[in-house]
Amino acid sequence: MNEARALPCLETLSDHDREEEPTGAPFFLPGEPSRLYNRPKPRLKLEIRNVAKTFASAKGLIRALNNINLAVQEGEFACILGPSGCGKSTLLHLIAGLELPDHGEIRLYSSQAKKDSNAERLIIFQEAALFPWLTVLENVLFGLRLQKLGAKESKERAMRFLALVKLENFANCFIHELSGGMKQRVALARALVLDPELLLMDEPFAALDFQTREKLQRELEEIWRRTKKTIIFVTHNVEEAITLGDRVILFSGQPGTVKQEYALPPSRPRQKESPFFTELAAEIKRDFQVQDPGRELVEQVTG
């Protein structure tokens, strides 16, 4: 997990800077048929406009991303799917402010009064980047050092987030004593404890076995439901994207561009055996292969 400071071309705007947004359609709440509620307004969290990124390498220039346009709503779980080398990690690095785009702009809309937080967009990588010389609790406390909290309050807060990821009984363990899945849960707690505006997850479960991966998917979905965080989640795995995403965004091969978006219905948990799930998975895999016939079929979560 890295912390990213806002860079000059990555604007962070607060609520009052937002442009006018349409009010959502009214809907009925179950069990209360006589009352009509307004669906909360979808609020824009992140806007990416015409972003391009080129790298210089020994082989010459590599155009990693081309003309990326994306909007992510507050509280949305957006999954990015695409072939290897299409620029998924590059896009997360740009959003996090770890790299600068050559062209275009990235706007993060903040819901917090404080605009200069160094923890507004946090990345969790495939290999949880934890400090092995610190305990689980100390790893989670690490990012809180810069916040003006007392020791007791920091510890209580860290323990609350360890409980959220079901690791409260492992607080005093060292990192080498944990399984891969537990390490990713520590990384998640360490990110969430800082209350980021945006959580960027770069194939966080790719190195895990199938069962651990499915378990963590369920846990992440529950944590997302409870914390209402905005998440951008990169994966190679079609089933994982359909399980977790409100929307699946399919990238084309290099240079990466948005090829197709699939909006998913809000009902959860998603049933892998349902006709909807299997048909959508087949459709996305077809679209995936059309653009990248040379690449092995997307990793099978059920394989």
Binding site for ligand ATP (CB under 6 A): 55, 57, 62, 64, 82, 84-90, 254
Least separation in angstroms between residue 122's CB and Mg ion is: 17
Please report how close the Cβ of residue 262 comes to Mg ion at its closest, in angstroms. 21
Nearest approach, Cβ of 79 to ligand ATP (angstroms)?
13
Nearer to ligand ATP, 215 or 295 (CB): 295
Residue whose CB is less far from Mg ion, 89 or 217 = 89
Q: What's the chain's length in residues?
A: 303
Q: Which does 64 bind (CB under 5 to 8 A by kind): Mg ion, ligand ATP, none?
A: ligand ATP
Residue 89 interacts with Mg ion (CB under 5 A): yes or no:
yes
Half-sphere exposure of 261 (CA within 13 A, CB side): 11
Per rule CB under 5 A, count of chain residues that contact Mg ion = 1
Binding flags for Mg ion, 43-82, as an x/- string (CB under 5 A): ----------------------------------------
Regarding 254 and contact with Mg ion (CB under 5 A), the answer is no
Q: Which does 55 bind (CB under 5 to 8 A by kind): Mg ion, ligand ATP, none?
A: ligand ATP
Instruction: Report, in Å, the least distance between residue 283 CB and ligand ATP.
Output: 21
Write the DSSP symbol of residue 295: S
* Residue 52 vs 194, nearer CB to ligand ATP: 52
Strand intervals (E) in the chain = 2-3, 10-14, 26-29, 32-38, 44-57, 60-73, 77-81, 103-110, 121-124, 198-202, 230-235, 247-251, 258-263
Rounded to whole angstroms, how far apart are CA atoms 165 and 93?
A: 25
Could you say whether residue 237 binds Mg ion (CB under 5 A)? Answer: no
**How far apart are alpha carbons 122 and 120 in whole angstroms?**
7
Kindly state the smallest distance separating residue 235's Cβ from ligand ATP, in Å.
9
* Alpha carbon separation from 234 to 24, 86, 93, 117, 244 (Å, rounded): 28, 12, 12, 24, 11
Between 44 and 95, whose beta carbon lies closer to Mg ion? 95
Nearest distance from C-beta of residue 66 to ligand ATP, angstroms: 11
The full 3-state SS of 40-95, as one line of letters, equals CCCCEEEEEEEEEEEEEECCEEEEEEEEEEEEEECCCEEEEECCCCCCHHHHHHHH
| Calpha distance 285→296 (Å, rounded) | 11
Nearer to ligand ATP, 51 or 164 (CB): 51
Nearer to ligand ATP, 42 or 85 (CB): 85
87: left (phi over 0), alpha (psi -120 to 50) or beta: left
Report in angstroms how near the CB of residue 216 gets to ligand ATP at its nearest. 19
Binding site for Mg ion (CB under 5 A): 89
